Amino acid sequence: MPAQATPVQATPVEAAPVAAAQGFGRRFGIGAALDRRWPDLRQLLPTAPEALASLLRTIVVALFILTFVMQPFLIPSESMERTLLVGDFLLFNKQAVAPAGAIGRLILPYREVRRGDIVVFHHPSPPLLVKRVVAIPGDRLRIENGRVFIDGAPLSQPYAYFAPASGVARGNFPAKIYTDPAVDPDWWREMQSLTHDGELTIPAGEYFVLGDNRENSDDSRYWGFVPRDAIVATPVIIYFSLRRVPGADPAKGADDRLGHGTDFADKVAGFARWGRIFRVVH
């Protein structure tokens, strides 16, 4: 009598991915085609619990990164043009310059805030600001005709942008006479006590910050120093940038083509500043 083949029964562990693959194939009518093209594919497909576990792991890692390492921000104002433009979406490193504890400093890549750093810091209004550090504790600062001097020497600042002023000209600091109503009165009194021979001395634990768009930025010239404990992050990269007319530079108004394209290609090209995507911030 000829031998008869005995069907092999799949174990429960093996049956689950097979059943999932069969359901997928029946739903989309591609089961037979998949079998012919990739006969072992069904055995490789994850089960529903495995797929859910993988998704949960991804979510946990993403939440950890956003909470402790990186965080996205949108630039809403012109004060940092042309380094950062209105509509730029940034990823900020929350560990590099954030206040470090005794243990965290040993295991995480903390570093001190340096002159020239762009930093994110807590502020009464708005609650978070982005500016550039131009003077650190112990520096003697003065600004003449827009040029920053530290300890009597001019500071190299290729990032500085001097657009037409929207209000009182801001080229000299510290001022000898209180003439600008935008200056906080308490800051004015503190400034006078720290100014000697036309230079402002930066106290310990404090930082002096300016916007790169010098004539259109509310910064340390108007409300004072930034405490070290208030600095929480530094920008790393621009991951997206929406087009918007930068009010501080009217000549670039034609650059905003959103909604004015005559065809789909124009609208796509005008939707974002594609050349700024993945640009490193410095």
Is the pLDDT reported for residue 96 higher than 50? Answer: yes
Q: Any idea which residue has 């978070």 for tokens?
A: 128
On whether both 83 and 118 belong to a single domain, the answer is: yes
Instruction: Tell me the per-residue pLDDT of 42-94, one tens digit each, with 9 for 90 and over.
Output: 667 777 787 788 788 877 766 656 555 566 788 888 999 989 999 999 988 88
On whether both 259 and 149 belong to a single domain, the answer is: yes
- DSSP label at residue 9: P
Distance set, CA 209 to CA 34, 35, 178, 197, 206 (Å): 62, 65, 20, 21, 10
* Highest mean pLDDT pick, 11-20, 36-45, 71-80, 93-102: 71-80
On whether both 190 and 109 belong to a single domain, the answer is: yes
On whether both 163 and 39 belong to a single domain, the answer is: no
pTM of the full structure: 0.70
Confidence of residue 258 (pLDDT cuts 50, 70, 90): very low
* Pair of tokens at residue 113: 């805030």
Confidence of residue 256 (pLDDT cuts 50, 70, 90): very low
On whether both 84 and 205 belong to a single domain, the answer is: yes
Is the pLDDT reported for residue 120 higher than 90? Answer: yes
Distance CA 143, CA 222 (A): 14
On whether both 24 and 92 belong to a single domain, the answer is: no
On whether both 37 and 89 belong to a single domain, the answer is: no
For residue 27, the enclosing domain spans: 12-63
On whether both 56 and 140 belong to a single domain, the answer is: no
* Pair of tokens at residue 61: 């890692």
On whether both 192 and 106 belong to a single domain, the answer is: yes
Which CATH number fits the domain that encloses residue 251? 2.10.109.10
On whether both 170 and 46 belong to a single domain, the answer is: no
Q: What pLDDT shows up at residue 252?
A: 43
Distance CA 210, CA 267 (A): 36
Q: What pLDDT shows up at residue 54?
A: 78
Is the pLDDT reported for residue 245 higher than 50? Answer: no
**Cβ–Cβ under 8 Å, residues 82 and 59:** no
* Pair of tokens at residue 186: 């308490």
- Tell which of 47, 63, 79 closes a domain: 63
